[in-house]
Structure formats: structure tokens, C-alpha cells
Amino acid sequence: MCVCVCLQPNMDHFMEQALEQARKAEQLKEVPVGCVFVYRGEIIANGCNLVNETKNATRHVEFICIDQVLEYCKNRSLKHEDVFREVTVVVTVEPCIMCAAALIELNVREVIYGCKNDRFGGCTVLDVPGLLKTSIPIRGGVRADEAMELLKEFYKGENPSAPVPKVKSQK
């Protein structure tokens, strides 16, 4: 189940870092979603969507950060399962169905997001936590207006990397 909450000030700091990453995405002509993974009070992964840059539809920011955590663990001889159990994911937009499922499977401590994802949200569109029977807290509404404003600005323009629509020819 996903809920809207107000959080303690340090989470606001982490959301600011995620929003900064979303602004970087916007400059890269990517959908402006930013994320940080927080472990024991420290950001150990951060990033933004790289779908257009990599031409890979799975390079959502959550997966970028997952890869960084795996590298972090490898470099420190830590078990990634143990680290993920203590990770708080702070992301500007509600994780999509794919990302929500991945975060739940990794058994992260909690997910905190800004605005809802009314098209592909892993809580809003499909209750992924309910389907996967998890008790991982997923909380939304943190600086949601700022996150939504970034999305609105992005979608006012055109996505230069969007595929050309296929049109059926009339026979």
C-alpha cells in the first residue's frame, strides 16, 4: 500500500538531491526523474533517467542506482543483500511497475517519492506491493509539486529521441 506523508527534514534534504538529479535529466533531454539511494545516512547512489541517451528503455534511474549500489558493495566487499535491506530510495516520481517490482525484490528498506505516476505507477496504476505481498513502506507526496512541475515543463516540448510513429498504409 502506498501513502502520502510528510517526512523529517533530513529526507527533505535527500529529496532535494533527487530533484537536482531530475534537473540534470531535463538538461539531457531525458524524462526528468532523479533518485538517490541512502544507506546509513549517506547517499551511495544517485542519478537520472538515461533511456534516451542509451537508447535502452530499461535505463530508468532506479536501475542506474541499483547498478551503482552493486558496484559500491563490490568495492567494499559487502553483501548487496544486506546493504539493500538498509537502503532508503528517494525518487522524484513514483516508480513505474517495473522499477517498483525490482525495488521490492531487492527488499529495500523503504521508497519515498515525490509525485504520482498516473500512467505507469507501481502503486497508482497497479498495486505492485500488494501483488508481491510486501510490507516495504512506499510513501509519496514529498515535494510533489516541484517534481510535477519538472515533468510538466519537459512534456511541453518534444522528445527528440521518441520513436517515429508507425502509420498503417491504406490499401
Residues annotated as catalytic are: 62
Residue 113 near residue 94, CB atoms below 8 Å: yes
Q: Note the Cα 81 to chain centre separation in Å.
A: 19
| Set of cell numbers at residue 9 | 527534514
d(CA 161, CA 139): 31
First and final CA of the chain: distance in angstroms? 49
**β-pair type (34-39, 42-48):** antiparallel
Residue (of 147, 142, 140) closest to 4 by Cα position:
140
DSSP state of 160: T
Whole-number Cα distances in Å, 5 to 2, 11, 127, 154: 10, 11, 18, 26
